[in-house]
Chain A
Amino acid sequence: MSLLSLEKVVKTFGGLTAVNRVSFSVDAGDVVGLIGPNGAGKTTVFNLITGNYTPDSGEILFEGRSVKGKKPHKIVDMGIARTFQSIRLFQNMSVVENVLAGCHCRMKSGIFASMIRTPGQRREEKKALETAKEVLEFVDLWESAGLSASSLSYGKQRLLEIARALASRPRLIILDEPAGGMNDQETAELLHLIREISRKGITVLLIEHDMGLVMRACEKLVVIEYGTKIAEGRPEEVKNNPRVIEAYLGSDEEEDAC
């Protein structure tokens, strides 16, 4: 059984059908890429999986359980963590506190325990801090842990978002254009990082415009255009699919015209 499966998912905004009967599945352990031209509906698909939007119809199952109608924090708790296309960090807070946000849903201490600082509460805080250190070392940001998130470069802010997502101990991580704003060097490091995440046993679902990265990182690609899935398969198959070539050439021409 696949880890995540979408079945004929539909999402409309007013008259616009942003996602039109899209079905695909993600197997545990894979790195899957979701690609398509600008405005194809990729981010909308992510927002449907993470509970930011609710599908008009169709079904989304994670580990056999429906995520439909669940709030985003609940879905994080189920084991799906995400990053945002437009970086959304807690800019005025420190790097380590940004990561502790991800730890939050794995902690339990309540108001009373915090007030009298029970041994359990202190142990839990210490453990969260260890998790934060582990994931920050993983993305090579531990040295900056005390800085405010806003002082990091764009590329490092992307890594911090990934660290925050990893801190919630997900089984599936969803990355929305993680290479956006990164230089070649940083993108190469990102490829390495995605492979490391996969090696940890975390399944990766990725939106990315950088075709070089997608082709190398992913075992499987899903292509959507105007909200509809037009191809699915191994990267080399998809790359030579005439329908995909047409979609991409078409969008390239539009971009040139702008």
Chain B
Amino acid sequence: MSDNLIEVRNLKQYFNAGKSTEVRAIDDISFTIKRGETFGLVGESGCGKSTTGRTMIRLYDATAGQVLYNGVDVHAPKSKKENHELNRKMQMIFQDPYASLNPRMKVLDIIAEGLDIHGLVKGKTDRKQRVIDLLEIVGLNREHAERYPHEFSGGQRQRIGIARALAVDPEFIIADEPISALDVSIQAQVVNLLKELQVEKGLTYLFIAHDLSMVKYISDRIGVMYFGKLVEMAPADELYRNPMHAYTKSLLSAIPLPDPIYERSRVRHPYNPKDHQYGPDEKVEFREVAPEHFVLCSEKELAEMQATHV
């Protein structure tokens, strides 16, 4: 087995392809996620992060390209059993804690949905016990099982969503902006929970976020997305020390720090794609600037970047 759990190859997702309303939500992206690591996917709203996650987990069919899970193409036709197995291994945590839980279902039934679908429990008492265990894992308790989602706070709901994903014992979890709808004080709670779970259960994460501030703490590697394309991908520290693409620099310049002296001199660098001034025959490709560090750039830019890389 290779140590890549996920391999995304030239993935494209065009909505309304061929019509005047065509949206190229993902336009030829490739990346890999190693077993047990956290891959951060960052980019502004509307750049195609959620679409990437949803296409990977087969909520959408890909327009072109492949997503390999353990070497198996997830979008290829499969037997019922294989499909079922794949559903169990890949799970997703959603952005909006208010929309991600069915308001008409009790927490017990929400969390047990996966258990029921995959026949993972025998009988009512076993089912309830499993749900209580899961609630405790995410820091809630047994008395929450009989309640309805609207009685919980955003952070609590998000943890219920995590428990629902964990119920089927997944290997890979796509966390689609799991904290961006939460209060800052709650964000750390959820991030820490995800980190603990990763250590305990050896999970692999795709962690999606729209800014770099939290991602850098939990990601091993980070991919920066801009309008459907990956513009830069590197290990987290490398990306922080050596941001190369102008868009990444702009994202980094947007992170505030609790340091008044730094803040006083912090300048935001807005990103303007026209600044690249690519010539008509220049090939803009995803190129390796330094080991493991990829940037979407032209040949000319590559040389410049390699010269300045430290």
Same complex origin of A and B: no
